Amino acid sequence: MVAIHPSKQDVSDKLFARAVELIPGGVNSPVRAFKSVGGAPRFIRSASGATMTDADGRTYIDYVGSWGPMILGHADEEVVEALRDALARGTSYGAPTELEIEMAEEITSAVPSVEMVRMVNSGTEATMSALRLARAVTGGTRVVKFEGCYHGHEDSMLVRAGSGVATLGLPDSPGVPASLARETTTVPFNDARALQKVFDESGEIAAVIIEPVVGNMGCVPPQAGYLQRVREITREHGALLIFDEVMTGFRLARGGAQELFNVAPDITTLGKIIGGGLPVGAYGASREIMNTVAPAGQMYQAGTLSGNPLAMTAGLVTLKRLRDKTVYERLERSTARLCEGMTEAAREAGVETVTNRVGSMWTSFFTSEPVTNWTEATKSDRALYAKFFHLMLDEGVYLAPSQFEAGFVGLAHTDELIDRTIEAAGKSFRSLKL
């Protein structure tokens, strides 16, 4: 595979100039705009396996993977074939299908704590519904989230830590009512005492929502025993524990982070991988909790395209391929190889990095200190990351366009591609020191 590097990115630049006239910021999701790394985004024309090709004909080894879904690789033959067949039967019925039962069987057989599941169309819908469900079941209104964790763009979650961390939340976006933001408390990740303090000081808490392995401040694993402690505290106080596994579900293990760390949440949210790259989300829990959801129960949630046959088709092919447990051993080995190689390349070049990894999720932080929470993550040198990002892009490697995102390795990342990435990283780290 030879990276083609026309002198400039003419076509992408021209497309971006057109896009910004018609789409806010020229993109349909903010992180795609390269704002935190600078420069104009590459417009992608096609992708296959572990690579993507942009509108200027440049091909990149892709470590974003559509932010997680593409664990099999892009345009997987089996997925494409199954979608081709499904298309001929129509694209959406607005009526139940057997595919949705198969998806529910796949999820409930894989995810230990989920006995029943509802399909939705995005991770945001999944977490929004899970929070409403927790409030419906407990009767409480207050929810707790963690600094640096992202759960989609619904109002209750667009809240930053108020003054004095464990106090009332403040809106983190215009349009979020202060009255609603006050119902969300934010505490540091990997600090069980801070969570305990919230319960000691606050009244009825409906839910604690957490990314069990954080991807959205960059990859930050839970410290030993932390998730077990969060489980104990929530159980002691009758608050529901929501594991937001939109990113970690079927990524870290077939049963997600809850299988890996052997901690059973009350509600699980899923997305990304379960749709094989098509729009999808899901939330699941025990029968008792899920029978609260309409039309079985009173908590209302709905969606025109929920359980869409194309998303179910792509998702089912993907999840069935992940039944092979050796998949996760392969991803563990290849991602360890990548991270060890990049860490060594940085060390040899005299660039300070700290790499966090769990399975095939990873982030290299440009810092010399451990990164175990948001405060420590923000100590990373973002300007240096931005330079590294563009040097790697010029070397034909597409990393996450933000220091505060996780990278993903998929089954299509061969040893040859990983070695090319390590070689590109060596050149890029050395260029940083010039």
C-beta separation of 243 from 210 below 8 A: yes
Amino acid identity for residue 183 in this structure: E
Residue 203 Cβ vs ligand KE4, minimum distance, rounded to whole Å = 27
What is d(CA 384, CA 361) in angstroms, rounded to the nearest whole number?
21
Chain position carrying tokens 């879904």: 69
Whose Cβ is closer to ligand KE4: residue 68's or residue 426's? 68
- If one asks whether residue 246 binds ligand KE4 (CB under 6 A), the answer comes out as yes
CA–CA–CA angle 108, 309, 245 (5° rounding):
40
- If one asks whether residue 143 binds ligand KE4 (CB under 6 A), the answer comes out as no
Whose Cβ is closer to ligand KE4: residue 311's or residue 345's? 311
**Candidate list 244, 259, 266, 376; residue touching ligand KE4; CB under 6 A:** 244
Of 60, 244, 266, 328, the catalytic one is 244
What is d(CA 297, CA 290) in angstroms, rounded to the nearest whole number?
8
Mark the segment that binds ligand KE4 (CB under 6 A) among 74-82, 144-152, 381-389, 412-420.
144-152
Whose Cβ is closer to ligand KE4: residue 27's or residue 384's? 27
Active site includes 244? yes
Mark the segment that binds ligand KE4 (CB under 6 A) among 122-130, 162-170, 201-209, 308-316.
122-130
CA atoms within 13 A on the CB side of 267: 34
Long-range contacts of 323-328 (CB under 8 A, 24+ apart): 323/254, 325/254, 327/411, 328/252, 328/253, 328/254, 328/359
Amino acid identity for residue 82 in this structure: A
Residue 44 Cβ vs ligand KE4, minimum distance, rounded to whole Å = 14
Residue 85 Cβ vs ligand KE4, minimum distance, rounded to whole Å = 26
Strands (DSSP E) contained in 286-366 are 354-358, 361-365
Chain position carrying tokens 């089996």: 78
- If one asks whether residue 308 binds ligand KE4 (CB under 6 A), the answer comes out as no
**Candidate list 135, 142, 145, 151; residue touching ligand KE4; CB under 6 A:** 151
Whose Cβ is closer to ligand KE4: residue 169's or residue 281's? 281
Whose Cβ is closer to ligand KE4: residue 211's or residue 376's? 211
CA–CA–CA angle 67, 423, 13 (5° rounding):
50
Cross-strand pairs, 227: none
C-beta separation of 113 from 264 below 8 A: yes
Residue 6 Cβ vs ligand KE4, minimum distance, rounded to whole Å = 27
Say if strands 281-285 and 267-271 run parallel, antiparallel, or are unpaired. antiparallel
Of 272, 283, 385, 398, the catalytic one is 272
- If one asks whether residue 152 binds ligand KE4 (CB under 6 A), the answer comes out as yes
The H or E element that residue 15 is part of is helix 10-22
**Candidate list 12, 122, 301, 380; residue touching ligand KE4; CB under 6 A:** 122
Whose Cβ is closer to ligand KE4: residue 124's or residue 318's? 124
**Candidate list 53, 113, 124, 353; residue touching ligand KE4; CB under 6 A:** 124
Q: Print the binding letters for residues 6-35 with ligand KE4: x by CB under 6 A, - otherwise.
A: -----------------------x-x----
C-beta separation of 281 from 125 below 8 A: yes
> How buried is residue 255: exposed, middle or buried, by Cβ count under 10 Å (0-12/13-18/19+)?
buried
Active site includes 328? no
What is d(CA 395, CA 246) in angstroms, rounded to the nearest whole number?
31
Mark the segment that binds ligand KE4 (CB under 6 A) among 123-131, 190-198, 300-308, 338-346.
123-131
- If one asks whether residue 293 binds ligand KE4 (CB under 6 A), the answer comes out as no
Active site includes 379? no
Report residue 164 CA to chain centroid gap. 28
What is d(CA 205, CA 183) in angstroms, rounded to the nearest whole number?
9
| Residue among 51, 404, 379, 107 at smallest CA distance from 259 | 107
Whose Cβ is closer to ligand KE4: residue 59's or residue 402's? 402
**Candidate list 319, 405, 409, 425; residue touching ligand KE4; CB under 6 A:** 405
Q: 323 is written with which tokens?
A: 């039944």
**Candidate list 65, 148, 212, 215; residue touching ligand KE4; CB under 6 A:** 215
DSSP structure class, residue 113: T
What is d(CA 110, CA 249) in angstroms, rounded to the nearest whole number?
10
**Candidate list 16, 63, 150, 283; residue touching ligand KE4; CB under 6 A:** 150
- Binding-site ranges for ligand KE4 (CB under 6 A): 29, 31, 67, 122-124, 127, 150-152, 211, 215-216, 244, 246-247, 271, 405
Catalytically active residues are 150, 244, 272
